[in-house]
């Protein structure tokens, strides 16, 4: 046993956060700690690391055991470079190496017997500590955490929040403590770094206590799950998927037991009220005692925790081409780099997004994912090529970490003034995204990251966009909110572009993948899960630049994938034909009405409606022509 927690409790004023918390961790065990935001996970971690004292109970850690803790808000030391900060984790080995080098200089001249003895002993310890691999280990871990060789000399005070978290994680991995506590370690990692960290955790010789809302990450790492719920902790053996199954079974069992007890109590209560103060008073009193005893030991049914209930209404159709990029390029000058050449993010990118498609945009940190989105939406100018949004596109853009929210406004004021809503409707919409009560009046700057994300999502649903662009929407959301977002996006009927590191979300809601790599972008006509399965079979060709502006190159796809795409486009053509027929019939009916108007008819409203129908018909005809042409091209590729 490495760690033992017995009957621990913690309150802040009248608010009870934890009570009767009991569990243990064994050496080398990989355990996940899960629970909704606000249930007390961070409070528990701070007690385990000595930052908080428990109000009661005990926490016992094996003597001499070393604990490493990655906080969500962890900062790194200033006044150091990235490399120096990482090397601080191996200060002991580096000091031994420095001392060995000092002694070696004396050994070359006139060594004493003491020098020889010290060198022999110190060298033995240095070998045990694997000191010769220090430089390789530091550089390897930094590279895995997304740092380039050029960034090793970068001062820590110039790092972004995400870079600081990645550097703190690298330092912890190099320290190799007996118990490694990680609080949301994947928040600022790209997919490659996340997958590397999964493998590292599985093979780690120490114990790991992992707090995460990343479902796939937990599925691939933990051997046991601790769930924090209703102020206490319950342990579930086995993998994360087994935990989900066991918890669902237990909730169903408890709900059934609670229903049976409720029925039994109701029957006893009816008997007592009916026969008390009658000839059966003695029996009624006996039943009353049994009823009171049953009430004392009654099982509470699992609470139906509130979840996000928002969603998007039916969207207005745009043209068939929603986003079109031709030979798009972006480069910028890094002021912190001595290299005078601009840094090339990407170049010669040809990318077409059609109505109804659902794209997942993935890639290494710094590969230009967010920059690409800002260029497409007209918020940045590209350094080469061109891009356009199609006809009738109404874009809704979710920025990372609520960057576009006014921190001084309250959520209610923001929805009323920025989104042009009436206060009752605004409160109702905020409530569906779990921003309730007095929280609607407090400044946005005091809200947590998850609350800001929910406010941003609420604002988007009010915009009714037919192009939804989401940049890391699951950051700071708990697992229940992430699952709710999956359902919302499944039901969305517009065009989706999703920038995310959440593999579960990508696999559930996207059907195309754009992988932004430093070596060049790759486009794939399948979800992230399908893309990874294809990668496992061998390298995928990078997207080729267009030969000219009129004939963009098609991405390489297999016959099976081509057949699947043809089937999708055929359905879309048929759907558009039906919409054109429906528009034409509606237009004929309205023209018949206009030809035989009664005296009381609202001519202005009918004429306006006629214009709207004509515009809608033109849009559907244009989309049908573009889609039919696309179908011909695909069939030509099929031969």
Tens-digit pLDDT profile for residues 218-249? 999 999 999 998 889 999 999 999 999 998 88
pLDDT score of 505: 92
pLDDT at 467 over 90: yes
pLDDT score of 72: 59
pLDDT at 345 over 70: yes
**If you average pLDDT over residues 58-81, what whole number do you get?**
78
How does residue 498 score in pLDDT terms, banded at 50, 70 and 90?
A: very high
Specify burial of residue 621 (Cβ count, 10 A radius: 0-12, 13-18, 19+): middle
Q: What is the pLDDT of residues 6-19, one digit of tens each?
A: 999 999 888 889 99
pLDDT score of 581: 86
How does residue 586 score in pLDDT terms, banded at 50, 70 and 90?
A: confident
Residue 208 is encoded by which pair of tokens? 């790991």
How does residue 541 score in pLDDT terms, banded at 50, 70 and 90?
A: low
> What are phi and psi for residue 340, nearest 5 degrees?
-75, -20
Rounded CA gap, 199 and 394, in Å?
A: 42
pLDDT score of 547: 37
pLDDT at 420 over 90: no
Query: Which region among 33-42, 570-579, 608-617 has the lowest average model confidence (pLDDT)?
Result: 608-617
**If you average pLDDT over residues 248-274, what whole number do you get?**
87
Cβ–Cβ < 8 Å for 13, 55: no
pLDDT at 527 over 80: yes
Rounded CA gap, 25 and 65, in Å?
A: 13
How does residue 478 score in pLDDT terms, banded at 50, 70 and 90?
A: confident
Query: Which region among 71-75, 162-166, 198-202, 437-441 has the lowest average model confidence (pLDDT)?
Result: 71-75
pLDDT score of 418: 83
With vertex at residue 334, the alpha carbon angle to CA 328 and CA 338, rounded to the nearest 5 degrees, is 130
DSSP string over 226-288? EEEETTEEEEEES-HHHHHHHHHHHHHHHHHHHHHHHHHHHHHHHHHHHHTTSTTHHHHHHHH
pLDDT score of 59: 92
pLDDT score of 217: 93
pLDDT score of 402: 73
Q: How many CA atoms lie within 13 A of 440 on its CB side?
A: 20
A 10 A CB-CB count for 383 gives 15
How does residue 551 score in pLDDT terms, banded at 50, 70 and 90?
A: very low
> What are phi and psi for residue 525, nearest 5 degrees?
-85, 60
pLDDT score of 5: 92
How does residue 629 score in pLDDT terms, banded at 50, 70 and 90?
A: confident
pLDDT score of 544: 45
**If you average pLDDT over residues 77-100, what whole number do you get?**
72
pLDDT at 616 over 70: yes
pLDDT at 166 over 70: yes
Residue 298 is encoded by which pair of tokens? 């009654």
Rounded CA gap, 82 and 602, in Å?
A: 72
Q: What is the pLDDT of residues 592-608, one digit of tens each?
A: 777 777 777 776 677 77
pLDDT at 545 over 60: no
pLDDT score of 128: 59
Residue 196 is encoded by which pair of tokens? 């590397």
Listed in order, strand segments (DSSP E) in 271-357 are 321-332, 343-354
Rounded CA gap, 97 and 370, in Å?
A: 43
pLDDT score of 125: 59
**If you average pLDDT over residues 616-637, what whole number do you get?**
74
Residue 129 is encoded by which pair of tokens? 């500590």
Cβ–Cβ < 8 Å for 514, 360: yes
pLDDT score of 145: 76
Placement of tokens 């050029």 in the chain: 150
pLDDT score of 560: 66
Q: What is the pLDDT of residues 115-142, one digit of tens each?
A: 677 667 666 655 655 555 556 577 888 8
Measured over all CA atoms, what is the biggest interatomic distance in the chain, rounded to whole angstroms? Answer: 119
pLDDT at 204 over 80: yes
Rounded CA gap, 189 and 147, in Å?
A: 11
**If you average pLDDT over residues 189-209, what whole number do you get?**
86
Higher pLDDT, 540 or 461: 461
pLDDT score of 309: 79
- % of residues, the chain, pLDDT over 90: 24
Mean pLDDT of the residues in the chain: 82
pLDDT at 634 over 90: no
């Amino acid at each position: 046993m490495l760690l033992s927690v017995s009957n621990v409790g913690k309150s802040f004023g009248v608010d009870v956060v934890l009570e009767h918390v009991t569990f243990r961790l064994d050496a080398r065990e990989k355990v996940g700690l899960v629970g909704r935001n606000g249930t007390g996970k961070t409070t528990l971690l701070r007690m385990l690391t000595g930052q908080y004292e428990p109000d009661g109970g005990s926490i016992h850690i094996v003597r001499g055991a070393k604990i490493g803790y990655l906080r969500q808000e962890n900062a790194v030391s200033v006044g150091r470079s990235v490399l120096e900060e990482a090397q601080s984790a191996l200060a002991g080995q580096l000091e031994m190496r420095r001392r060995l080098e000092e002694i070696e200089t004396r050994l070359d001249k006139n060594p004493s017997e003491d020098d020889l003895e010290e060198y022999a002993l110190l060298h033995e310890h240095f070998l045990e500590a694997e000191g010769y691999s220090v430089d390789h280990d530091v550089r390897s871990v930094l590279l895995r955490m997304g740092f380039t060789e050029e960034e090793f000399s970068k001062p820590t005070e110039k790092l972004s929040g995400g870079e600081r978290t990645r550097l703190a994680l690298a330092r912890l991995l190099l320290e190799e403590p007996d118990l490694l506590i990680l609080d949301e370690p994947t928040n600022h990692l790209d997919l490659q770094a996340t997958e590397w960290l999964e493998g590292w955790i599985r093979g780690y010789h120490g114990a790991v206590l992992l707090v995460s809302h990343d479902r796939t990450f937990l599925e691939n790492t933990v051997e046991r799950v601790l769930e924090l719920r209703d102020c206490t902790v319950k342990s579930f053996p086995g993998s994360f998927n087994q935990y989900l199954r066991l918890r669902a079974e237990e909730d169903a069992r408890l709900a059934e037991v609670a229903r049976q007890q409720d029925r039994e109590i109701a029957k006893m209560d009816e008997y007592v009220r009916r026969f008390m103060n009658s000839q059966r008073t003695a029996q009624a009193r006996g039943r009353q005692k049994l009823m009171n005893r049953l009430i004392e030991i009654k099982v509470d049914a699992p609470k139906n925790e509130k979840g996000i209930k928002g969603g998007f209404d039916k969207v207005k159709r745009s043209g068939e081409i929603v986003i079109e990029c031709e030979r798009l390029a972006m480069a910028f000058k890094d002021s912190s780099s001595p290299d005078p050449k601009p840094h090339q993010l990407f170049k010669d990118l040809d990318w077409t997004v059609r109505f109804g498609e659902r794209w997942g945009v993935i890639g290494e940190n710094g590969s230009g994912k967010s920059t690409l989105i800002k260029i497409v939406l007209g918020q940045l100018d590209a350094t080469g090529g061109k891009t356009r949004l199609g006809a009738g596109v109404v874009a809704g853009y979710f920025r990372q970490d609520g960057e576009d929210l006014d921190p001084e406004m309250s959520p209610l004021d923001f929805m009323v003034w920025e989104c042009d809503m009436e206060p009752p409707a605004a409160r109702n919409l905020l409530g569906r995204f779990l921003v309730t009560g007095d929280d609607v009046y407090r400044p946005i700057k005091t809200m947590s990251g998850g609350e800001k994300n929910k406010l941003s999502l609420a604002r988007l649903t009010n915009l009714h966009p037919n192009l939804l662009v989401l940049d890391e929407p699951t950051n700071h959301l708990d697992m229940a909110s992430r699952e709710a977002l999956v359902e919302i996006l499944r039901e969305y009927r517009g065009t989706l572009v999703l920038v995310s590191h959440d593999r579960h979300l990508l696999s559930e809601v996207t059907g195309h993948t754009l992988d932004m790599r430093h070596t060049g972008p790759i486009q794939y006509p399948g979800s992230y899960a399908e893309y990874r399965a294809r990668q496992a079979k061998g390298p995928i060709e990078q997207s080729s630049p267009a030969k000219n502006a009129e004939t963009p190159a098609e991405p390489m796809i297999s016959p099976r994938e081509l057949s699947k795409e043809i089937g999708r486009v055929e359905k879309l053509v048929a759907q558009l034909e039906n919409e054109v027929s429906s528009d034409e019939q509606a237009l004929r009916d309205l023209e018949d009405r206009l030809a035989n108007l009664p005296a009381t008819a609202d001519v202005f409203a009918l004429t306006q409606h006629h214009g709207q129908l004509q515009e809608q018909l033109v849009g559907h005809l244009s989309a049908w022509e573009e889609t039919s042409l696309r179908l011909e091209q695909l069939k030509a590729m099929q031969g």
